[in-house]
C-alpha cells in the first residue's frame, strides 16, 4: 500500500524525471539525513521506483556517490504521469535533470519544474492567437512563485561561452515570434535561466548576456547548480552533500 507521503515522492520524481536522497530528505522529511530511507525501501519493494545504484559520483570525493531514482512503468500509471517517465534517463538528460532538480529543490527559495502542457496553459491557453499552429513552447521551464512571479526557460549548457550566448540569442528571437511570449518577455514574466557548474563560466556568461540579450530588455539569471557537467562512463559529477544512507541505496 502506498502512503500519501510515498505518493507525493512519486509525483515529485515524475515532475523532475529523477531524484536523489538528499533532495527527498529535504522536501519530505524536514531535511533529516536518511529520513527517506524507509519510504525509498518500500517503494523499491513495491517496484514503483527504479535506481541507478551509486551511479552519480561526487566530483570532489571519489569515495562518495549517490543513487539516482526514477519511476517504474507501474508508478507512472499510479500518479498519472506519461509512460516516458519510466525510461531510464540517458547521458544528456541526466545532467540537465540533476541541475534543474538541484536548482528548484535545494535553494532557500524553491522553484518548480513545469511540464510542457503547464507552460502552454499559462501563455497559450488557446492557440488561435499564436503564430505557432501547434501551440507548443520549446525548451525546459521552471516556475518561480511569489511577488515577482515568472516562468524561466532553462538552459544547462555544455558548449563554449560563444556557442551558449549564440544559442540563447536564437532562443530569444524564436520566442519573440510568438506574440504571447513577446509580451511576457517585455513584462519580465518570461525569463531565461542558465545553470552552469563553474564560477568562471558563471561570471563570463553574466557579462556576455548583459551585453547582448540584457540590452534587449530580456531578463536573465545565471547561477551555479550541480549536475551541469558532462557524463563519463555512465557517471555524472555531482557536487553536493552525500547522505549517509545513500550508500545503502
Number of folded domains that form the chain: 2
CA of residue 145 relative to chain centroid, distance: 16
Q: Are residues 48 and 156 in the same domain?
A: no
Q: Is residue 247 part of a domain?
A: no
The SS3 call for residue 130 is: coil
122 and 183 both lie in a single domain = yes
Q: Are residues 84 and 119 in the same domain?
A: no
pLDDT computed for residue 146 by the predictor: 81
Report pLDDT for 113: 97
The dihedrals phi and psi of 12, each to the nearest 5 degrees, come to: -60, -50
Residues 186, 214 contacting (CB under 8 angstroms): no
CA-to-CA distance for 129 and 192, rounded, in angstroms?
A: 23
Give the integer Cα–Cα distance in Å for 174 and 169.
Answer: 9
What is the distance between the alpha carbons of residues 84 and 128, in angstroms, rounded to a whole number? Answer: 29
64 in the same domain as 164: no
148 and 56 within one domain: no
**199 domain-assigned:** yes
Q: Is residue 239 part of a domain?
A: no
Nearest partner of 105 among 215, 227, 237, judged by Cα: 227
Instruction: Examine residue 127 and state whether it is found in any structural domain, yes or no.
Output: yes
**pLDDT recorded at residue 40:** 97
Task: Answer yes or no: do 126 and 201 share one domain.
Answer: yes
Which residue range forms the structural domain that includes residue 55?
Answer: 4-89
Per cent of the chain over pLDDT 90 is 64
132 and 33 in a single domain? The answer is no
Q: Which grid coordinates are listed for 212?
A: 547582448
**Quick one: 199 and 137 in the same domain?**
yes
User: Looking at residue 66, what is its pLDDT?
Assistant: 80
The answer as to whether 202 is a domain residue is: yes
Of 55, 209, 219, give the one whose Cα is nearest residue 151: 219
Judgement on whether residues 121 and 214 belong to the same structural domain of the protein: yes
141 and 223 in a common domain: yes
The answer to whether residues 83 and 73 touch, using CB atoms and an 8 Å cutoff, is yes
Determine the pLDDT at residue 134: 59
- For residue 14, the model assigns a pLDDT of 97
DSSP 170-196: HHHHHHHTSHHHHHHHHTTSEEEEEEE
Residue 59 within a domain: yes
pLDDT value at residue 91 = 82
The CATH number of the domain where 78 resides is what?
Answer: 1.10.10.10
Let me know if residue 24 belongs to a domain.
Answer: yes
117 and 215 housed in the same domain: yes
> Within the chain, how many helices (H) and strands (E) appear?
9, 9
Looking at the structure, tell me whether residues 77 and 129 fall in a common domain: no
Residue numbers in the chain where pLDDT is lower than 50: 128-131, 228-249
Q: Taking a C-beta distance cutoff of 8 angstroms, is the pair 192, 152 a contact?
A: yes
Amino acid at each position: 500500500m502506498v502512503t500519501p507521503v510515498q505518493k507525493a515522492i512519486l509525483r515529485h520524481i515524475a515532475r523532475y524525471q529523477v531524484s536523489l536522497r538528499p533532495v527527498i530528505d529535504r522536501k519530505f522529511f524536514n531535511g533529516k539525513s536518511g529520513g527517506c530511507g524507509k519510504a525509498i525501501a518500500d517503494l523499491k519493494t513495491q517496484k514503483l521506483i527504479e535506481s541507478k545504484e551509486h551511479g552519480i559520483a561526487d566530483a570532489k570525493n571519489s569515495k562518495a556517490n549517490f543513487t539516482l531514482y526514477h519511476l517504474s512503468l507501474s508508478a507512472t500509471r499510479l500518479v498519472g504521469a506519461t509512460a516516458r517517465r519510466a525510461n531510464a534517463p540517458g547521458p544528456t538528460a541526466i545532467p540537465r535533470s540533476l541541475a534543474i532538480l538541484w536548482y528548484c529543490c535545494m535553494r532557500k527559495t524553491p522553484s518548480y519544474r513545469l511540464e510542457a502542457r503547464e507552460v502552454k496553459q499559462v501563455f497559450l491557453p488557446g492557440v488561435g492567437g499564436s503564430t505557432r499552429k501547434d501551440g507548443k513552447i520549446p525548451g525546459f521551464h521552471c516556475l518561480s512563485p511569489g511577488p515577482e512571479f515568472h516562468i524561466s526557460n532553462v538552459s544547462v549548457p555544455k558548449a563554449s561561452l560563444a556557442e551558449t550566448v549564440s544559442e540563447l540569442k536564437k532562443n530569444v528571437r524564436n520566442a519573440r515570434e510568438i506574440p504571447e511570449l513577446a509580451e511576457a518577455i517585455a513584462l519580465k514574466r518570461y525569463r531565461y535561466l542558465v545553470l552552469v557548474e563553474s564560477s568562471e563560466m558563471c561570471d563570463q556568461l553574466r557579462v556576455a548576456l548583459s551585453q547582448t540579450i540584457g540590452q534587449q530588455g530580456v531578463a536573465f539569471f545565471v547561477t551555479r547548480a550541480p549536475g551541469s557537467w558532462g557524463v563519463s562512463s555512465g557517471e555524472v559529477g555531482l557536487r553536493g552533500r552525500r547522505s549517509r544512507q545513500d550508500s545503502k541505496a
